Homo-oligomer: A and B are copies of this chain.
Amino acid sequence: MLSHERIVKVVSKYNLAELTIGTLGSHSALQILKGARDEGFRTLVVCRSDQTHVYQHFGLADEFVIVDNYKDLLSHEIQEQLLEHNVILIPHGSFVEYIGSENISNKLYVPLFGNRRVLEWESSRDKQRELLEMAGIKMPKKFDTPEEIDRLVMVKFPGAKGGKGYFLAKNKREFEQKLKKVKGEKKYYTIQEYVIGTLIYPHYFYSPILSRTELMSMDIRYESNIDGLTRIPERILKGYLVDPSYVVTGNIPLVARESLLPKIFEMGENVIKVSQKLFPPGMVGPFCLECICTPDLELWAFEISARIVAGTNLYVQGSPYSQLLWNEPMSTGRRIAREIKLALEKNRLLELIY
């Protein structure tokens, strides 16, 4: 992995008065660019040519870097171009998915907002479990082999592909039947107990500058086909077998019962503390605990996203929670830019970028 020293050296050549916030054109880029501009930064977006139009339309990027393929970001040429613009890159879900966490760790020497070391923890379900269990967070049971399945489970595949290929099973037989139907790579999977309850995904922000974990907002994912399939009475579907799928297509806003907030804060704060032990200086900036809330008001986390999640796109104008804290329209994208601004004022930028 690239050392912090390497990044520090890069930044030492930056003109901090001309700092540019950049990201890849997908996932939550519009929000990130808007937030950066609201905080007075220059902005840059790395796009494929088929996506340029959207980012041009909204007029939020000062600079465009057009690539044929997102992985071109790793090329010397593009990286040098970003350094010339004094860019800090903001990683997001598609960023990690398209570039690859190993590539980001080892080959991307443009400064990244957040701790690069979190990527290896986020990209492995086993490491995620280690982190969350150390933080005292309830997790759905994991089954090591199909033989052990003794309840309803969700079978998941690696990466942040937005739920593609996931399926439900109740026993080994169902597992095997459905695994056969999965297209593409299916050697690596996780078998996780399917806890039944409401989906509540709190979006957090850990601020090294203010030394606190903030609750930014929450969302419910809107998944295809499942959220359409369940609108067809089963009786009408009879003889018309459609397997449920869980591909994220959008997000719906939500607030949680206020009495859940102490637990939601505790979970976020514990994750930060554990991350600081496991991979100092720990997680920095936005993260999300994908939770299920059972009828006895217990929260179970089945995943962690250690960077901005797309559910925050709902709150370009701020959320009910960020409004309580900031009393101004504070999206997660803007919060990132604000953190960088605060750090610059205190000459502490190097604590945010790795």
Interface residues of chain A, those whose CB is within 8 Å of chain B, are 26-31, 34, 50-51, 53-54, 57-60, 94, 151-152, 162, 164, 168, 170, 194, 196-200, 212, 214-215, 218, 220, 222-237, 239-242, 244-245, 247-262, 265, 292-297, 310, 313-318, 320-321, 323-325
Which of A27, A168, A260, A293 has the most chain B CB atoms inside 10 A of its CB? A293
What are 5 A-B contacts defined by CB distance under 8 Å?
A50-B262, A230-B231, A250-B293, A315-B320, A316-B323
C-alpha gap A218/B313 in the complex (Å) = 13
Report yes or no: B254 in contact with A251, Cβ–Cβ below 8 A.
yes
Q: Beyond A58-B325, A168-B232, A240-B152, is A225–B259 a contact (Cβ under 8 Å)? A: no
Q: Beyond A247-B295, A314-B253, A324-B60, is A198–B170 a contact (Cβ under 8 Å)? A: no
- Residues of B contacting A60 with CB < 8 Å? 324
C-alpha gap A224/B195 in the complex (Å) = 11
New A-B contacts (12) at CB < 8 Å, excluding given A220-B222, A317-B320: A26-B259, A50-B262, A59-B325, A94-B258, A198-B223, A224-B297, A230-B233, A234-B235, A247-B295, A252-B254, A255-B310, A316-B321
Report yes or no: A244 in contact with B255, Cβ–Cβ below 8 A.
no
Cβ-neighbour of A316 out of B296, B297, B320 (below 8 A): B320
Report yes or no: B198 in contact with A254, Cβ–Cβ below 8 A.
no
- Residues of B contacting A251 with CB < 8 Å? 254-255
Q: Beyond A162-B257, A234-B234, is A222–B198 a contact (Cβ under 8 Å)? A: yes
C-alpha gap A200/B250 in the complex (Å) = 8
Report yes or no: B324 in contact with A316, Cβ–Cβ below 8 A.
yes
Q: How far is the CB of A175 from chain B (nearest CB, A)?
A: 12
Q: How many copies of this chain sit in the oligomeric assembly?
A: 3
- Residues of B contacting A26 with CB < 8 Å? 258-259
C-alpha gap A247/B151 in the complex (Å) = 23
Report yes or no: A197 in contact with B249, Cβ–Cβ below 8 A.
yes
Report yes or no: B227 in contact with A198, Cβ–Cβ below 8 A.
yes
- Residues of B contacting A292 with CB < 8 Å? 228
Report yes or no: A225 in contact with B197, Cβ–Cβ below 8 A.
yes
Q: Which residue of B lies closest to A256 (CB)?
A: B250
Cβ-neighbour of A313 out of B30, B252, B255, B297 (below 8 A): B255
Q: How far is the CB of A164 from chain B (nearest CB, A)?
A: 8
Report yes or no: B314 in contact with A320, Cβ–Cβ below 8 A.
yes
Report yes or no: A262 in contact with B53, Cβ–Cβ below 8 A.
yes
- Residues of B contacting A151 with CB < 8 Å? 240
Q: Beyond A30-B324, A152-B240, A225-B295, is A57–B314 a contact (Cβ under 8 Å)? A: no
- Residues of B contacting A224 with CB < 8 Å? 197-198, 293-295, 297
Report yes or no: A170 in contact with B236, Cβ–Cβ below 8 A.
yes
Which of A30, A249, A296, A318 has the most chain B CB atoms inside 10 A of its CB? A249
